[in-house]
Amino acid sequence: MPIKQRFDRLLLGAAILQVGVGLALMASASWLIATERYGRPGSYFFTWQAATAVVGLGVLMVCMHVRSDLLTEPRLARVGVGLTWLLLVVVFLQPPVAATHRWLSIGGLSLQPSVLARVALMIFAAVELDRARREGWPGRRMWSLTAVCSFTAVLIIIEPDLGSGALLLVVLTAMAFVAGTPVRMIAAPAVVGVLALAVAVVTSPYRLARVRAFVDPDAATAAGWQSYQSLVAIGSGGITGRGYGAGLQKLFFLPEPHTDFIFSIAGEELGLLGLLGLLGLISLITWRGLRIASRLASPDRALLAFGLTFAFAVQSLIHMIVCLDLLPPKGIPLPLVSYGKTDLVVTLASVGLLLNLSREASL
Amino acid sequence: MSGRRLWVVALMLVVGGMTVVARAVQVTVVDGDEWQERARRQHQQIIQVPGPRGTIRTADGYVLAASLERVAIQADTHLLNDRELFAKAAAPLIGIDADELVGRLTSGPRTVWLAKQVAVETGEAVRELAPTAVVLVPDFERVYPLGEVAAPVVGFVGREELRMVGRAGLEHHFDEMLAGDPQTYLAINDAIQRKVRLERLERGREGYDLELSLHARLQAVCETELQRAIRELRADAASAVILDPRTGAVFALASVPSFDPAAPGLVPPEQWRLRPVQDALEPGSTVKPIVAAAALAADSIRPGERFSCLGHGVRLAGFWIRDHVAPGRYTLDEVVAYSANTGIIEVVERIPEDALYRTFAAFGFGRRSEIAFPAEARGLMPEVRTWSKLSRAGFALGQELTVTPLQVALAYAAIANRGWLPEPCLVNSVFAENGLVSDKDPRLVRVLDEALAARLTSMLEAVVDEGTGKEAQIPGLRVAGKTGTAQRAINGAFDDEHHVAWFAGFLPLPDPRVVIVVAVENPRVDFWASTAAAPVFARIALAAAGHLDVPLHEPREPQTDAVRLARNATDSRSHGGGV
């Protein structure tokens, strides 16, 4: 296969720019939360995120220069899935953080296994889907793939982290779709998945409350409050915003201004223009990613490139749509922008993998 | 990998992106105003904070009361990470006990006022200790640079939260003008209703400044002289009034003992009174010129008529009225000059009761002068229908009515001002930031015809030149005046303990510039006005003449008929003090 020496510099530039914009927004959004809620110095979250960004860029470089044939090595993919399962189980052995088992604490650093699982599953799915395609979509292989994916998703959902689990399933489904899987093979698990999601929502009071608040915005619930405050933030920002740092919604109106609602803070402080700029950056990264995917000769790598890109795009979209109150609050961070160490490192690693693949793309 | 399916997914992503754009435009542009309004409602709260209170200054430019820009420090105790540490650091800055501050921070309401009226720098230093928990609210401190000088006139303020409220004196009377409108601030709140910062929305009308007619230096001289008189005479209290007879402008209103307006609570509340306005006293013989005016106006006596004055006094309706003049027959002028009690009683018995009452009323007795001051005393002047047989004599001796020193000063001003009674004026003008708000034109009422006023003036000049008021003489100035030694009715009875020593007069003749009234209450060393009150008058008058740049003349021979007559009388008779 032809190895191109040039990687996609536009993608790298856009990703680094978005990390920079994200750090700036995060600093503004998290300053008061740090001092008021956590009793830390105002720069606490910013410092951590900046340090993580440095580490993440290192990981990006590594991912960029790793031997590309290792990326879709089936045995490595299986080992990756096994390791993430291990982490997802170990996390339950630790005391819960904020009443959930989303974070794994290793030597003072906390790690979100669900985020690692997403990349591992995407690599595994890319390899397995390509093999299934070559074998003519045998049912047994597809069922086992579905089982692996579902099992991982269930492990994540019972953390509980319905948003991440559902996101994982959406990404994997999209990969299967793009890989050319017969529609009936996708439809059956999709129907089951949607039903399972409905059950998960109905059986969990806080999820139900969120949905109910979304359907009936007048209900004065905590969940409705979040969405309302998000709209207040974006709406009051207007076209040009209140100015960087001048936002008022982060003063405890928005519960998680530096993670789940960073897009709202961007809207309040930088206005519609800021939102469009951010959306432009996300679109640019997505476009470059899809472009790489469509130009890769090797189907498994193309599928991986698509998966990485689609995960980034769909996660961004869900974050923005939640902030715009078109979906109930999910707790999905905006990639490269929201505070979240694991998410930032893994997203930068994904970009690194995309850049690695970009050298093989017939650009 | 299926290229067509990739396009389908890409298209879905594009639709998603378009949805974001469309919704963002809807929220920020289409419904932007509505969301902004909602944001404003939850972030912002209009709070009103008092603005700077107006300045009170004297006509000669001294500041009696002013407002200093200060801050009030408020803390949200829930947002203090370590209350004890904060208290230990903040307490020395605001000058309170650290343990007490810890107590206030740990028990009690969530929001605590740490200090009010502290310097802006102090407030900022405290805010530095806990920037998110401490809010500085604009505040003002009332200061009285001259301390006790004119304190009973200026009064003082109390505080209701951050608002200063005039509690006494002019601070009370002109409270609304001085206070101005509240300044409107927009408090930017966070979700827990803490004021994160304040933005001034509306300045509101600032407090108006008052320029008084008082002259600080005359006021200070009066107060010093009254304090000296109290000390030397072992008196309880003393009052003095200086006013301009032509305009009614009050140059000094002294009331001793007084108080420190910055700490009025240190003295009993009766010392807050402005005695020359708020206290009515028996006027004693200071009303004799008014009786003379009534007699002359009503044509009750013949020109040159003489009245018998019995040295030992007169028995009247069972009461023995003492007299201190040499026995003999005195003219009206002499009766006034020597303050002969028996003579004035003979005069007053000739005046119809209504005419007597009307004259007293015309001079302003028995009604408020309407000076711009709270709780002005009206004085007691019984109506004719309630009079007894003794009442006219009681009026003539100044014992059956009470008057304020200000009323006496105004009545004498009418004599000095050729028969025109002025309205008193204490506040010359009111200033806003951008200029004059109101000014007062002098208002005068004629109460005497000019010839009668001139005749009374001569009588009063004779009092000082040759009569009971000799102690009020000032070399180089022609002075007119009258003594008055009144017995005070305590619980309806007169005794020998309570007296008021009066002196009322004006100078310089022939064109008087100031009327001065001095009243010393309960002087124990010497209660006779001629020796207790007249020297105080003279000292104040000399200072007033100097301050107002009244030219001094070489001493010269008195020329009026009254004085010549009085001198003749002196030649033939010795005289004592007047009652």
Of the two residues B27 and A196, the one the predictor is more confident about is B27
Q: Is B43 on the interface with A (CB under 8 A)?
A: yes
Q: Is residue B553 one of the residues assigned to a domain?
A: yes
Asked, for residue B82, whether it belongs to a domain, the answer is: no
Compute how many other C-beta atoms are within 10 angstroms of the C-beta atom of residue A238. 20
pLDDT greater than 50 at residue B56 = yes
Percent of chain B with pLDDT over 70: 89
Cβ contacts of B428 within 8 Å, gap of 6 or more: B59, B211, B212, B213, B249, B439, B440
Distance from CA of B39 to the nearest CA of A (A): 6
Task: Give a yes or no: residue B537 inside a domain.
Answer: yes
Q: How far apart are the first and last CA of chain A?
A: 14
Q: Label residue A363 by pLDDT band (50, 70, 90).
A: low
The whole-angstrom separation of Cα B297 and Cα B451 is: 11
Write phi, then psi, for B143 (nearest 5 degrees).
Answer: -120, 150
Q: How far apart are CA B533 and CA B541, in angstroms?
A: 12
CB contact under 8 A, A317 and B3: no
Q: Are B130 and B153 spatial neighbours (Cβ–Cβ below 8 Å)?
A: no
Distance CA A122, CA A316 (A): 17
pLDDT in tens, B66-125: 999 899 898 878 778 788 889 899 999 988 888 888 888 888 777 788 888 899 999 989
Q: Give the closest residue to A335 by CA, choosing from A164, A80, A152.
A: A164
Question: Which among A235, A279, A310 is the nearest to B32, CB-wise?
Answer: A235
Looking at the DSSP bridge assignments, the partners of residue B195 are: B189
State the best of B20, B30, B134 to mutate against chain A, taking most chain A CBs within 10 Å.
Answer: B20
What number of CA atoms fall less than 13 Å from residue B549's CA on the CB side?
Answer: 0
Strand partners, B193: none
Q: Chain B: give the shortest CA distance to residue A150, in Å.
A: 22
Rounded to an integer, what distance in angstroms lies between the CA atom of residue A215 and that of residue B140? 52
- CA of A253 vs chain B CAs: smallest distance (Å): 5
Measured between CA atoms, the residue of chain A closest to residue B41 is A232
Determine whether the interchain pair B20/A232 forms a contact, defined as Cβ–Cβ distance below 8 Å: no
Smallest Cβ–Cβ distance between B10 and the set A237, A238, A290 belongs to: A290
DSSP H or E stretch at residue B461: helix B450-465
d(C-alpha B199, C-alpha B182), whole Å: 14
Give me the DSSP letters along A74-105.
Answer: HHHHHHHHHHHHHHHHHHHHSPPBTTB---EE
Q: What are phi and psi of A264, to 5 degrees?
A: -65, -40
What are the pLDDT digits (tens) for B503-546? 999 999 889 999 999 999 999 998 889 999 999 999 999 999 99
Confidence category of residue B322, pLDDT binned at 50, 70, 90: low
Please tell me the distance in Å from B163's CA to the nearest CA on chain A: 30
Q: Which residues in chain A have their CB less than 8 angstroms from residue B2's CB? A: 178-180
User: What Rg value do the Cα atoms of chain B yield, rounded?
Assistant: 34
Q: Which residues pair with B202 in a beta bridge?
A: B184
CA A154 to chain centre: 17
Domains identified in chain B, total number: 1
Question: How confident is the model over A207-230, as pLDDT tens digits?
Answer: 777 676 666 655 445 557 788 888
Query: Which residue segment(s) compose the domain that B544 sits in?
Result: 216-574
The Cα–Cα gap between B341 and B313 comes to 8
Please answer whether residues B516 and B198 qualify as being in contact, where contact means their C-beta atoms are separated by less than 8 angstroms. Answer: no
B91 within some domain = no
Predicted model pTM: 0.62
Whether A25 shows a pLDDT value over 80: the answer reads: yes
Please give the Cα distance from B211 to B61 (Å, whole number). Answer: 8
Q: For residue B297, what are the contacts with CB-CB under 8 A and spacing of at least 6?
A: B355, B359, B448, B452
Say if strands B209-212 and B56-57 run parallel, antiparallel, or are unpaired.
Answer: parallel
Classified as helix, coil or strand, B553 is coil
Give the residue on A whose Cα is nearest the Cα of B194: A251
Give residue B205's Cα distance to chain centre: 25
Q: Which residue has the higher pLDDT, B116 or B324?
A: B116
Element (H, E) at B28: none
Cβ-contact B516, B504 below 8 angstroms: yes
A177, A231, A236 ranked by CB distance to B9: nearest: A177
**Cβ–Cβ below 8 Å for B38 and A252:** no
pLDDT of residue A245: 81
Q: How close, in Å, is residue B8 to chain A by CA atoms?
A: 9
Q: Are the beta carbons of A272 and B29 separated by less than 8 Å? A: yes
CATH of the domain at B322: 3.40.710.10
pLDDT attached to residue A1: 47
Residue in chain A lying closest to B4 (CA):
A178
Q: Give dist(CA A273, CA B178) in Å, integer.
A: 50
Partners of A177 on chain B (C-beta within 8 Å) are 5, 8-9
Residue B171 is assigned to a structural domain of this protein: no
Q: How many CB pairs under 8 A join A and B?
A: 123
Residue A4 has pLDDT above 60, yes or no: no
Contact A53, A343 (CB under 8 A): no
Rg (CA), chain A: 20
Output DSSP code: residue B249: B
Q: Which of A235, A253, A286 is the closest to B42 by Cβ?
A: A253
Contacting residues of A for B3, CB less than 8 Å apart: 294
User: φ, ψ for residue B499 (rounded to 5)?
Assistant: -130, 160
- Please report which confidence band the pLDDT of residue A68 belongs to, taking 50, 70 and 90 as the band edges: confident
**pLDDT tens sequence across B335-365:** 998 888 888 998 999 999 999 999 999 999 9
| Short-list B527, B172, B525, B524, CA closest to B372 | B172
**Separation of CA B557 from chain center:** 40
B191, part of any domain:
no
Taking residues B49-69, report their average pLDDT.
Answer: 92
- From chain A, pick out residues whose CB is under 8 angstroms from the CB of B189: 251
Asked whether A60 and A349 are in contact (CB, 8 A), the reply is yes
Sequence-ordered list of residues with C-beta below 8 angstroms from that of B261, at least 6 positions apart, any chain = B65, B144, B147, B148, B151, B154, B155, B156
Best mutation target among B4, B15, B28, B40 (most A Cβ atoms within 10 Å) is B28
